[in-house]
Amino acid sequence: MTTHQAADFLRLSGIGKTYHGTPAVRDIDLTIAAGESVCFLGPSGCGKTTLLRLIAGLETPDAGHISLNGADITATPPRSRHFGMVFQSYSLFPHLTVGKNVAYGLRCRKWNAADARRRVLEMLDLVQLADHIDKLPNQLSGGQQQRVALARALAAQPHVLLLDEPFSALDAKVRGQLRADVRELQSRLGITTILVTHDQEEAMAVADRIVVMNRGQIEQIGSGPEIYHAPDTAFVGRFVGDMNVLQVLGDTEGRLMLAGKPLSVNEAVRPGCDRVGIRPESIQLVQDAIGPNHFQASVLKTQFLGKQTRLDLLLDGQEIQVDVYGLRDIAFVPGDLIPVFLPPNEIRPLNEH
Amino acid sequence: MSTELTAGPMAGPIRWRLGRGQIEILIALLAMLPLALFVLYPLWTILRESMHHPDGHWSLDYYDLYIRDPHFRQTIFNTLNVSFWATMATVLIAFGYAYALKRTQAPAKWLWHSVILLPLFAPSLIQALGVQFLLGRNGVVNRYLGTDIDIYGFWGILISNVLYGLPHAYLVLMVALSGADARLYDAAKMLGAGGFKRFLSVTLPAAKYGILSAVFLGFAINISEFGNPMVLGGDYNVLATEIYNQVAGQANFHLGAVIGVLLLLPVLVAVVAEKWIARRQSSISAQATPYRPERSWRLDGPMLLFLGGVAFIIVAVMGVVIVASFTRLWPYNLSFSLQHYRLDVPGGYGALWVSLKMSLMAAAIGVVVATIGALIVQKLSSRLRQVLYLMSVVPAAVPGMVLGLGYVMAFNNPSIPVYWLYGSILLLSLCTVYHYHAQAFLIATTGLKQIDNGLQEASQTLGAGVLHTTRHVTLPLISPAMINIGMFYFMHSMATISALIFLVAPGKTPAAVSVLLLNDAGNWPQAAAFATIIMVTIVVAIALIRVLVWLGSRLMAWPQPRALQTI
């Protein structure tokens, strides 16, 4: 396997693709290091699957270049890229046994019979399906089929492993197990991996780095904690967890005002910023509305959810949600006025694209 | 008191259920009796005739006699030989054609699709006439290229049968090739498979059952085809023409019956195999992403040439018949003439009226029989349902020659109560109705299955009885299927020969049979003219029905047919 320790093992520059006049992805610039595990995260229709298929060579970009190890592969057909891919629907050949499915890519790549047989056994051992080598795909469960697909994708030692929503057809329990298996395999083999998903939890569990996408563009790139705790945009904040977005007044020196009071924020605020985000669990209920970042809010609705209670409040004419943990006897009635505190270190000034 | 209370509600339903069971058997018999009389009884008559000696004892002597004769053994070999090769060629060409239309971006697909279906709109022996006009003794090729091709025999039968069988195999293969899962192609590409490897490992396995199905269907069609070997067979005897020679030529009914049984067996096997395989054709899963072929001139170019080549041959063979019918003396004098349309032969245009009358009657009777059959099958409990279903599809396995022979033997018999049917146009219609009963029944069944069961149940819960529901809910909803059945019967009745060849009587000869008889008498220009008239009649009738349906759906809010099938 040609593992290249460069930080720009796989490089996308200026990638764009349009279907029937509608751009599916635009101006994508991204570099992926060798051995890294990257996840494309976004809602359906955000272009993440298109981007993966462009990398795979199953689609051809209208603009931009893709290079692998410094070599331009933009026009290389998929079978010459030598990438492994796992699909949402397993896509095993229904008429071939498990063993023959795994051997398929090896035969295409002209491995000799003995090496191929050894490799198939090795791969099936790796995914713990060696006993099922002579079964047909429809004799296996969904999770088993997807493990066969994984073995098949990895058998010919591809440069990059591409996973297109590989867990979403599975039920929750199998999904969690397989997710852990993939993460384990990936770090053991050190193979560069790209995962596409719309599930933030999955992204956090499998990827070193998450690329959040929206409307064909990259919104933010970062590690799981970075994306969660420091979202750049309202979209990222809302897509990865819940986030209250508040309209504020900003001046040219980066000072912010909310409900006629100054709002202090730990992070540097760019001039012109007029929106801030804060997560529901970060807002605190306090005794009075006196002091910095203390505000009076009125209750719209309370919902008891077990370990937390969710309050819908109206602050400065804007709806916000607050999650309160550990309090037993919350007896607010709609219309009650309650003071809240927005901790300066939890407030995130938001940028817009 | 207490016993009455418990017995009261119990007794009611039980008595009602018994009554219902009896009614069910009565209704089932209502559907089964005609099938028994018009399908099973003629078949039984053939079987009896092949084994029953005039002195009253039963034996296989006639078979023995037949098998011993080297001439007959040669006939059996010929039949299997030409049917085998014609089937292989038909399926190969039809597969290429369907593949080009489903899996490439070859342009003008609607045109190619329409052209290959053309043979369905004409009498089956139009191909034989066309091949004769092109390659025959007096064909253009021999005449103008100075060649000396002798088309009569193996090659003549092969070529005309292939042309006749193409649309049938094509329709089966279109279905088989339309279920493509793009994701499997993506997976194969990612694993390094080239185009040919993908074809072998993804396309072929998915179409496997469809291909086998087309092979058996093609074999059944080829082995029972009568018109083509009649015109182009020459000295190359096959079973279908041999029956005709034995019965019509030498009045040897016992031998005819033996050949009938011998012809029935392979077709029965082929049709059963086809049905069995067709059920295994895996339906594509709902998640599958449909495969969209990419434009690639390296593939599309040769495919376009192939489509064009096949389409050209189909059009040329059918077209030459039309052209020849308008020439003074094909191929010697090509000047325009309408003289052949005078049809100054016994029967003449009268045969066309016989055909029209017969076809309209067949369409009317066929719609009623197939619809009622499908309705009854749907309502029956499982065992009766299976019996009736089987009886309804049996005709698919009976070659027309065999059914027609059975009709002669069964109904030309003063001792049966329906002897009065013999020699009537009505019997010709009934013969056609039951000859194509399986296909029509399946169209009706499919139409019924498409109706949401909930609608019928809703009607019943609203208080409507079975008859009311049928009349006001079910029938209006399956009327598109009924129109399809009517068109199906009309087309086939106008074009069919094989089942009717034994039943013709003076003044009761349908047009398609006249074409054969005219050609047999060496009057092929008039045969061409008559064949052309039949084609035009079919096309005009279908256009008329479509216009009426269209008008009906616009003006009177008739249900719009989902897809008017052409077969």
Query: A18 CB contacts (<8 Å, ≥6 apart)?
Result: A24, A62
pLDDT band (50, 70, 90) for residue B423: confident
Alpha-carbon span A211 to A135, nearest angstrom: 38
**One-letter amino acid of B176:** A
The pLDDT value recorded for residue B556 is 61
Gap between the Cα atoms of B242 and B256, Å rounded: 8
How far A67 CA lies from chain B's nearest CA (Å)? 17
Count of helices and strands (H, E) across chain A: 9, 21
Average pLDDT rounded to a whole number, residues B441-445: 89
**What burial class does residue B180 get, using C-beta atoms within 10 Å of its C-beta: 0-12 exposed, 13-18 middle, 19+ buried?**
buried
Residues with Cβ < 8 Å from B58, sequence gap 6 or more? B51, B52
Q: Which pLDDT belongs to residue B15?
A: 46
**What count of Cα atoms within 13 Å lies in the side-chain half-sphere of residue B516?**
24
Q: pLDDT tens-digit profile of B462-504?
A: 767 777 777 777 777 788 888 889 999 999 999 888 888 888 8
Q: Do A153 and B189 touch (CB under 8 A)?
A: no
Dihedral sign of CA atoms A24, A28, A31, A37 in order: negative
- Chain B residues closer than 8 Å to A169 by CB: 287
Residue A244: alpha-carbon gap to chain centroid: 20
Residue B448: how many other CB atoms lie within 10 Å: 19
Cβ proximity of A322 and A311 under 8 Å:
yes
Which among B185, B189, B190, B292 is the top mutation candidate for probing chain A, defined by the most A β-carbons within 10 Å of its own β-carbon?
B190
Greatest alpha-carbon span in chain B: 104
Chain A partners within 8 Å of B208 (Cβ): 95
Asked if pLDDT for residue B321 goes beyond 80, the answer is yes
**Per-residue pLDDT reduced to its tens digit, B261-274:** 998 988 888 888 88
Residue ranges of chain A with per-residue pLDDT less than 50: 1-4
Question: Cα(B282)–Cα(B278) distance, rounded to whole angstroms?
Answer: 9
Side chain identity at residue B319, one-letter code:
G
Contact A138, A94 (CB under 8 A): yes
Confidence check: pLDDT of B382 > 80:
no
3-state class of B108 per DSSP? coil
Residues of B in contact with A94 (CB under 8 A): 205, 282
Q: What residues contact residue B143 under an 8 Å CB cut-off, 6+ apart?
A: B331, B332
Mean pLDDT, range B357-375, rounded to an integer: 93
- Checking ipTM against 0.90, whether it exceeds it is no
Interface probe with B: pick from A108, A157, A170, most Cβ of B within 10 Å? A108
pTM of the model: 0.79
Instruction: Of A229, A297, A292, give the one whose Cα is nearest residue A256.
Output: A292
Q: What mean pLDDT value characterizes chain B?
A: 85
B193-B194-B200-B205 Cα dihedral, nearest 10 degrees: 50
Q: Evaluate if residue B404 carries a pLDDT over 60.
A: yes
8 Å CB contact of B192 and A82: yes
The whole-angstrom separation of Cα A275 and Cα A264 is 13
Mean pLDDT over residues B104-126, rounded? 88
Residue in the structure block whose two tokens are 């008239």:
B533
Residues of chain B contacting A101 with CB distance shorter than 8 Å: none
Confidence (pLDDT) at B564: 40
* Chain B residues within 8 A of A153 when measuring between CB atoms: 190-191
Q: Which two tokens stand for residue A15?
A: 């990638």
State the Cα–Cα distance between residues B546 and B565, nearest whole angstrom: 11
Q: Give the type of residue at B435.
A: H
| CA distance, residue B103 to nearest chain A CA (Å) | 17
Task: Assess whether pLDDT exceeds 60 at residue B2.
Answer: no
Query: DSSP secondary structure string, B33-52?
Result: HHHIIIIIHHHHHHHHHHHB
b/e code B95-129 from CB counts within 10 Å (16+ = b): bbbbbbbbbbbbeeeeebbebbbbbbbbbbbbbbb
In 3-state terms, what secondary structure has residue A155?
A: helix
Residue B46 exposed, middle or buried by CB count within 10 Å (0-12, 13-18, 19+) = buried
- B138-169 pLDDT, tens digit per residue, is 788 888 888 888 889 999 999 999 999 999 99
- Residue B281 binned pLDDT confidence (cut-offs 50, 70, 90): low
Please indicate whether residue B26 or residue B3 has the higher confidence score (pLDDT).
B26
Q: How many CB atoms lie within 10 A of CB A70?
A: 10
Structure tokens given for B269: 């096997």
Name the DSSP class of B267. H
Q: Which amino acid is at B311?
A: A
Q: Is A54 on the interface with B (CB under 8 A)?
A: no
Within its chain, how far is the Cα of A35 from the centroid? 18
- Assign B563 a pLDDT band (cuts: 50, 70, 90): very low
Is residue B18 predicted with pLDDT exceeding 80? no
pLDDT of residue B22: 79
Could you say which DSSP state residue B181 is in?
Answer: B
The token duo for B26 is 């009565």
Give ∠ CA B397-B401-B406 in degrees, rounded to 5.
85
**For B398-414, what is the mean pLDDT?**
91
Query: CB-based contacts of A13: which residues, under 8 Å, 6+ apart?
Result: A29, A64, A65, A66, A67
Residues 6 or more apart in contact with residue A128 via CB below 8 angstroms: A147
| Helix/strand/coil for B462 | coil
Q: Which of A79, A89, A95 sits opposite B192 (nearest CB)?
A: A79
Q: Which pLDDT score, from 0 to 100, does residue B304 have?
A: 93
pLDDT tens for B220-244 read 889 989 989 999 988 999 999 999 9
CA distance A159 to A71: 13
Is residue B182 helix, strand or coil?
helix
Question: Given the DSSP bridges, would you call strands A337-341 and A284-285 parallel, antiparallel or unpaired?
Answer: antiparallel
pLDDT attached to residue B3: 41
Whole-angstrom distance, CA of residue B271 vs CA of residue A92: 33
Task: Tell me which residue has tokens 């009717």.
Answer: B500
Q: Do B152 and B236 contact (CB within 8 A), yes or no?
A: yes
Q: Is A194 on the interface with B (CB under 8 A)?
A: no
The three-class DSSP label of residue B22 is: helix
pLDDT of residue B65: 84
Does A76 reach chain B within 8 Å, measured CB to CB? no
Q: Is the Cβ pair A108, B189 closer than 8 Å? A: no
Q: Does A77 touch chain B (CB under 8 A)?
A: yes
Closest by alpha carbon to A339, among A304, A315, A309?
A315
**Interacting residues of A219 by C-beta distance below 8 A, sequence separation 6+:** A42, A212, A213, A232, A233, A235, A236, A353
- Rounded Cα distance between A329 and A353, Å, is 43
- Sign of the dihedral through C-alpha A258, A262, A263, A265: positive
Identify all chain A residues contacting B281, using CB atoms and an 8 Å cutoff: none
Per-residue pLDDT at B26: 85
**Contact flag B193-A85 (C-beta cutoff 8 Å):** no
